Structure 1
Amino acid sequence: MTWWIAGGCALGAVSILVVAWRRAHATTGAGLAIVTLAVMTAALISVGSALPARTEAVESGGRVVEVIAGITSSASVGQDGRLWFEAQTASIGVRGEPRSVSVPVRIGVEPGDGFDLGAEIRVVGEAAATDAGERSVLVIYAGEAEIVQAAQGVFGVAADLRQSFIERAARLPEPGAGLLPGLAVGDTRAVSTELNDDMRTTGLSHLTAVSGANCAIVVGAVFWLSALCGCRRGLRVLLSAAALSGFVILVTPEPSVIRAAVMAGIAMLTVLIGRPRAGAGMLALGVTGILLVDPWLAATPGFALSAAASAALILFAPPLARGLARMLPAPLALAIAVPLSAQLVCGPIIALFAEQQSLIGVVANLLAAPAAPVATVVGMLACLAAPVPLLADLLAASAWLPTAWIATTATTAAQVPLAQVLLPAGIPSALFVAAVSAAIGVVLLRRPSALSGRAQSWWRWSRRCSAIVLIVVSGGGAGLAALDGPLAPLRTPEGWAIAACDVGQGDALVVRSAGDIALIDTGPEPDALRSCLRSLGVERIDLLVLTHFDLDHAGGVEAVEGRVGEVLHGPTSDQADQRSLDRLEAGGAVLHDASAGLHGVLGATSWRVLWPQRDSVAFPAGNDASVVVEFAGGEVPRSLFLGDLSAAPQRMLMRTAQLTGGYAVVKVAHHGSADQEPGLYEAVHATLAIFSVGTGNDYGHPREDALALLEATGSHLLRTDQQGRILIGMQAGELQVWTESSVGGPG
């Protein structure tokens, strides 16, 4: 199909060219159509030529494979604690019998040295196929990894310089030590999870890795320094381009870095050479060229954001600065216009794929703006000065101070109430953010001169409508902020004993008895859990149960660090799991390795652990070793929380725990997956069945089989994806249920 479409585009371009030639002139529209079809043809040929190898590689999905590949990107530590990077395979296949196949893959290995761009590696691990639109054909979770050949030539020199600089920065104090390599050379391995989250919340995450901002800083610094030395404009441009090329090599010329360099280079050079009006055309040409070389970038959010931010710098920032200059000094107006224009243009794109919208990003960027160029340029010089240790130490120490300022700005600004708002990712949110962004732009822009009477009338009407939009949104936002903040507990019924928080695709359930609080899992991310706990009026967690350490159950643990009394946790599987526990313990929590038989009291109710069995080797750490806990007594209905158990451990649980009927509530295992044991739910015979699940999740949870199974046992089904937060309580011996969509009970 790809080749047929490519052929059709090529035929269309030739046909238009022939018609235009026979008419002895070519219109602008004809020329644009020819260029468009030619570009589509080239892109489709590029994609089509890669399809056979990709199709062959996809067959390795779900198998353990041996891969020999060359690393094509920088490495970063993921949330699972692995070191992740992109690579181009030379061969792939079953162990000992690899076949020559060249496809892009993404590889995760245990952290170590030597995984630099240009290095050749051999890994053995489980391969998983990706979606068709992704650049990487496979994701490989490596169990074994070795460096076959270290990075050579200029890449080897750059890797040595980076490693020396990272070690030098690590000797500096926090805050700032871990962030400095990210600002200067794009290495984010030392940036803590907490600081990374704060940078994202405050809209400063573009500084933690190589982005257009970093490239623009390098170009601007060299252009300015060469101007001080009396160089002519042409030489300044050449020196800036050379410096940008060297910077790209130093920080690893992976696709995202090259993309950022091209975008920033185009945007900055059009301004620096005094031809800002040519910027839009040059940007369009650059985007086209990048997509011809690498069509897969068309499906990446980063490419769209980079192009949009560059366009904002060229087209939107100058008139926005002139509008702000009506109220502010010109230098300050320009300083505000640059991050604000990027924020307004990129906001709708971000809303398509991310739930967070930063409200403090402009302020945080203004505070960080004076420090970012100094930290980037001086840090890069410290990296280059590695052969002269004394000079490198001096420069690294000098770069540390502005870096510490940026880290402190991110940490402080992230704690400001309403630093960000949560919107469901998708087209409706993108349209809403676009409308608000457009309204802000219209209000701030200065009225264009030389408008006709009708145009002036249209402009006044637009300004009034925009002002109304902003007033309505601001008023609504303030009301929602109050309801989600200090007034949040007033919206919650007093009689609840069990709460299922709506945290998306994950578990976070709260049990309350006589003022004491138990939290079972934390959901996938902290902000949703914070919001739920705030609405419930929960300040401290007396008992935290981490059933297992998958992201959808333990990803939000940061939200409760420092305010937990005791922790019951399942088996750990790697260092990342242990680090989560260490942070809880450092915050004052007492840790308990949960196993069947452990029991205790929460307020007026009692709890006991039913699973896993102590020292069991039958089920590894993860879903099947989830902590299963029962609560009963006092005002808490008898309830059973099954974590993510699959059918096999559910059958074992039936035999070891001797479950009997009479449960009021059961939290259905694994978000209602199809892998359930009917006998367990028949034995439990719960009145209410909770499905903690995210709207439109990729797993198809809850499955129809699971829903039918619970209905067959007589359970009343409650789903967080349909009903939002769910509250359950007892009144006069009867169960009461409150949800965000309805109020009532099963009778």
Structure 2
Amino acid sequence: MSTLEPLEQPAPARTDFRLVPLALAAWGCTLAVPSLPPLAVGIGVAALLVGAAIVALLRIPRHKPRLAPAIALLLLGSAATATVTAVQVASAHSGPVPELAAASAVVTAELQVRSDPVVRSRPGSQRPAYVVLKAIVERVKSRGTTAEVHTTVVVTGNLAWKQVAVGERVRLTGRLAPTDPGDRVAAVLSARSPPHHLAEPGPLDRGASQLRAGLRAAVDGLPPAERGLVPALVVGDVSLLPPEVVEDLDTAGLTHLSAVSGANLTIMLAFALGLARWCGLRSWALPVLGALCVAGFVILARPEPSVLRAAAMGLVGLAGLATGSRQRGVPALAAAVTALLLIDPWLGREYGFALSVLATAGILLLGPPCTDALARWMPRWLAAALAIPMAAQLLCTPIVALLSESVSLVAIVANLLAGPAVAPATVLGLVATMVAPISVALASVPARLAGFAARWIVEVATRSADLPGASLGWATSPAGIALLVVVCVAAAALAPPVLKRRGISLALAAAMLLWLVQPARLIGLGGWPPPNWIVAACQIGQGDGLVLRAGPGTAVVVDAGPDPRAMDRCLDELGIKNVPYVLLSHFHADHVDGLPGVLSGRKVAEIGVGPLDSPADEAAAVRTLAAAARIPVNRVQVGEQRQVGDVSWTVLAPNGHVASDHLPEEGEGSVENDASVVARAEIGGLRILLTGDIEPGAQRALLRSGADLRADVLKVPHHGSKFQDPAFIRAVGARFALVSAGEDNDYGHPAVSTLGLLESAGMTVARTDQHGESVVVLTDAGATLQARHK
């Protein structure tokens, strides 16, 4: 027996939480103060200061010498944050601009653009796209009075505003509208004129714009998804990111990759400082280089609040990586939160700030114990790769659910798989950005390599989002979110002891995998679609997207809705891989913008369109997309008869000539609606009348033409608009009516009067806004209508 006594193991260092109450109190002040009257805020601040003074004078027991300073610091910090927040709220919502906004005044303003213009459009809307940007009003004139100001506003305008640059000074005429008291911007300025140029951007803004433009030029040769994702990863430029990729990233729990985050800066700093060390840089030069990199990142990604937040969180993350100590990481995070809220109290009311803080806290607090637990039965590097995204995702789950009304069940796995590609894509994209001013051709080399890494991220997001059980719908009521918080807290507490046990961990992983692959069977529901379906109305929002089954895995698609992602998913769920024919009733966005989703991964042989190439932009986009895919686009003719597999159809309207100056007799209003292609299809002996968006004028014209309108299934015209001709509806005599409309749409579709008309005509109605996807099923007993309730 050895006579040597075992050395006493030092106790593990305890995490320092002393600054956490201060950060939480400061955060609470930023949330509460904007909603309180100034008098209440003043009384509260005075009470906090008095409390701090009393605590400082109290006799504290000797065994707790740090208690009084900690409480005093908490009270003083709360008073300071409340004061700063109150001052900034008062400053933002006082002065000439907010006063003019309250009166909805028309003004002439001179302003400096402070954010890149973003083009927005409402899915399924026939309204033109518009531009949104942030700006600082420097001079405002209204009712003969001119004032010098410095007030932040949001500007909305037509597409002419797409050309303005950050830092540029412009003049415009527009109408002001007020914002909420808790908003960081003082007003919304709706431009009534194009921007009139006054001055060029400063050198820093101009340089940043040139670098961002250089990166966009360098990635120009990449496919659309990669072309959009690389600038988003590097500088937060999401202008090129396709909407369907954004949705996939959201479903897969990878949303943080499409916006500037602390991870971006951490990766860039780690690369820059590592390269500097390799080059021999030491001592004070490294912190100086780090500071310059942070400043350059902020300028390049634009000095907006989200970027400043990302910079701070990135520095905290880098400090954690450098020290490897959560004992230092937690107080650093708390100090960063407090400092950021003192500098910019508005951050406390932003979801992005909450996500950044919670993700960092999860990595610092939950990451190490989960890593230690998993490392008991797997390599430590793999344990860390699993534990870190799990920890970050778990703490962020309630906020993500509040924003998306769902809980991602694939987020941890998706982050694990995508993680190795994030750093290469970011670093190579940064190299391309720096090289582009010298040579775009040379910059395209690292850009193309970054594209390969981005392709992997896109594949992970797409395939994860396509899993049937990828996300679970969740109520966003206070009770629903509170329940989710309790679940997440319990999961965080149970995670380390559970993950220590290999058997339990593998069993849970297997159960999750089964849920993702076959969730319907696990909860005892039949699969979708039901056997022997013949026609389906896809749930694609406010628009039309119908699928006529022509055989196994084959269908004719009639209209493609407004959303490529939703249309693609509907076809995937229906098992459609081959689309011999696509019929576009007319070129409104809610019928054609989802066409990329139809083409995604499917063989499409032909596209049929009506006689009117209007709206011109949408028509041109369809033809460009078809040309790129080498798909012929042909105009249909009245009387034309076609057959594809089990589907046959006859074109009933419109005639080959539609006058451009024709006005509908009544309705919601457009020549394009009445020029919709109308066809009568037949599958298995059942007739389906496809009506596009025809309104009463075109409906009566069809009746007068003597066309045979009798059908078993009616695709209700124009999403169930209130403008319907009763004689037309009765002449169809259908048993089933399919209404394709978006939930809570702005148009009031379907109208109560139309629903009453359909029911009085003896039709059973299925509407996608309430029932989800709907199908007509043909069985030996006859036809039935089934809906996939949401």
Q: TM-score, normalised by structure 1?
A: 0.78
In structure 1, C-alpha distance between the alignment counterparts of 2:604 and 2:703, rounded to whole Å:
28
Counterpart of 2:764? Answer: 716
Residue 46 of structure 2 is aligned with which of 14, 18, 42? 14
Is the contact made by 1:501 and 1:724 (CA closer than 8 Å) also made in structure 2? yes
Q: Kindly tell me: are residues 360 and 295 of structure 1, through their superposed partners in 2, closer, same or farther at Cα, counting changes over 3 Å?
A: same
Tell me: CA distance 1:264–1:19, structure 2 relative to 1, closer, same or farther (3 Å): closer
In the alignment, which of 487, 496, 512 is matched to residue 445 of structure 1? 496
* Residue identity in the other structure for 2:472: L
Separation in structure 2 between the aligned mates of residue 95 and residue 685 of structure 1, nearest angstrom: 62
What is the deviation of 1:290?
4.2
Q: Cα distance, 1:50 vs. partner?
A: 3.6
Q: Name which of 516, 536, 540 aligns with 2:578.
A: 540
> Which residue type is aligned with residue 467 of structure 2?
L
Q: Tell me which moved more, 288-297 or 552-561.
A: 288-297
The equivalent of 2:467 in structure 1 is: 418
Q: 2:85 maps to what in 1?
A: 43
**What value does the CA root-mean-square deviation take over the aligned residues?**
5.0
- What letter is aligned with 1:480? P
**1:371 Cα deviation from its structure 2 partner:** 5.1
Asked if 2 retains the 8 angstrom alpha-carbon contact of 1:359 and 1:419, the reply is: no
* 8 Å Cα contact 1:563-1:587 kept in structure 2: no
Equivalent residue, structure 2, for 1:587:
629
Q: Is the 8 A contact 1:550 1:622 kept in 2?
A: no
CA contact (8 A) 2:262 2:317 kept: no
User: Superposition pairs for residues 637-656 of structure 1, below 5 Å?
Assistant: 637-644=686-693, 649-655=695-701
Q: Mean alpha-carbon deviation: is it higher for 375-384 or for 301-310?
A: 375-384
1:509 aligns with 2:546: yes
Q: Give the conservation status (yes or no) of the 8 Å contact 1:730–1:736.
A: yes
Q: Distance in 1 between matches of 2:516 and 2:240?
A: 36
CA deviations on 1:122-174 (whole Å, 9 max, x unpaired) are 56899999888776754868884564433222212222333344434546899
Larger radius of gyration: 2
Q: Calculate percent identity across the aligned residue pairs.
A: 30
Conservation of the 8 A alpha-carbon contact between 2:247 and 2:565: no
Q: Is the 8 A contact 2:211 2:434 kept in 1?
A: yes
Letter in 2 for 1:564: V
Distance (whole Å) between structure 2 residues aligned to residue 426 and residue 610 of structure 1: 45
For residue 355 of structure 1, report the CA deviation from its aligned partner.
Answer: 6.4
| Structure 1 position 623, deviation (Å) | 7.1
Per the alignment, residue 451 of structure 1 pairs with none
In the other structure, the counterpart of 1:658 is 704
**CA deviations over 1:152-210 (Å, ceiling 9, x no partner):** 22212222333344434546899966654444444444556676666666655544543
Q: Please tell me the residue identity of whatever aligns with 2:696.
A: Q
User: After superposition, where does 1:513-524 map in structure 2 within 5 Å?
Assistant: 517-524=555-562
Q: Which has the higher contact order (CA 8 A, sep 6+)?
A: 2
Whether the aligned pair in 2 keeps the contact of 1:440 and 1:466 (CA below 8 Å) is no
Asked whether the 8 Å contact 1:510–1:517 carries over to 2, the reply is yes
Q: Report the counterpart of residue 745 of structure 1 in structure 2.
A: none
Q: Is the 8 A contact 1:125 1:143 kept in 2?
A: yes
* Cα distance, 1:243 vs structure 2: 1.1
What are structure 2's unaligned runs of at least 5 residues? 1-32, 59-67, 123-127, 664-668
Q: Which 10-residue stretch deviates more, 301-310 or 138-147?
A: 138-147
Residue of structure 1 in register with 2:268 after alignment: 218
Change beyond 3 A, Cα 1:144–1:395: closer
Question: Aligned-pair distance for 1:589?
Answer: 3.4
**Distance apart, 1:233 and its partner CA:** 6.6
The amino acid that maps onto 1:578 is: A
> Following TM superposition, by how much is the alpha carbon of 1:313 offset from its aligned partner in structure 2, in angstroms?
3.0
Cα displacement (A) at 1:244: 0.7
Question: Would the aligned equivalents of 1:689 and 1:717 in 2 still touch at CA under 8 Å?
Answer: yes
C-alpha separation between the residues in 1 aligned to 2:701 and 2:112?
Answer: 51
Q: CA deviation at 1:272?
A: 3.2
**Pairs within 5 Å for 1:157-236:** 157-170=207-220, 179-191=229-241, 206-228=256-278, 236=286
2:98–2:178 CA contact under 8 A, matched in 1: no
Distance verdict in 2 for CA 1:385–1:523, change over 3 Å: closer
Paired amino acid for 2:376 = R
Match of 1:86 among 128, 133, 141: 133
- The alpha carbon displacement at 1:433 in A equals 7.3
1:74 aligned partner: 116
Determine which of 613, 617, 632 is the counterpart of 2:661: 617
Report if the CA contact (8 A) 2:407-2:471 is conserved: yes
Shift of the 722–383 alpha-carbon distance from structure 1 to 2, 3 Å rule, reads: closer
1:629 aligns with 2:667: no
- Once residues 660 and 120 of structure 2 are traced to their aligned partners in structure 1, the CA distance between those partners, rounded to angstroms, is 29
How far apart are 1:249 and its partner, in Å? Answer: 0.6
**Structure 1, 19-28 or 146-155: larger mean CA deviation:** 19-28
- Cα distance in 2 between the residues matched to 1:621 and 1:316: 58
What is the CA–CA distance in structure 2 between the aligned matches of 1:299 and 1:551, rounded to whole Å?
35
Partners of 1:690 and 1:554 lie apart in 2 by: 19
Change (3 A) 1:598 1:532: same
Shifted more, 330-339 versus 103-112: the winner is: 103-112
Secondary structure of 1:423's match? Answer: strand
Q: Does structure 1 retain, via aligned residues, the 8 Å contact 2:108–2:140?
A: yes
* Deviation for aligned residue 1:8: 1.3
Distance, in Å, in 2 between the alignment partners of 1:66 and 1:573 is 33
In the TM superposition, what is the alpha-carbon distance from 1:492 to its structure 2 partner?
0.8
Distance 1:317 1:50, change over 3 A: same
Superposed, 1:273-672 pairs within 5 Å as 276-291=326-341, 297-298=347-348, 300-354=350-404, 365-366=415-416, 369-370=419-420, 372-385=422-435, 388-389=438-439, 397-398=445-446, 400-411=448-459, 414-415=462-463, 418=467, 421-424=470-473, 426-427=475-476, 445=496, 473-480=512-519, 488=527, 492-494=530-532, 496-512=533-549, 517-548=555-586, 552-561=590-599, 562-569=602-609, 571-573=613-615, 575=617, 578-593=620-635, 600-601=642-643, 603=646, 605-611=648-654, 614-618=658-662, 624=673, 627-633=676-682, 635=684, 637-644=686-693, 649-655=695-701, 658=704, 662-672=710-720
The verdict on how the C-alpha distance between 1:194 and 1:467 changes in structure 2, with shifts beyond 3 A counting, is closer
Q: What CA deviation, in whole Å up to 9, does each residue of 1:571-618 have, x standing for no partner? A: 453646633443344435332346877664554542325359624334
Deviations 1:1-56 (A, max 9, x none): 96853421331232344356457446967864664466356435534544464574
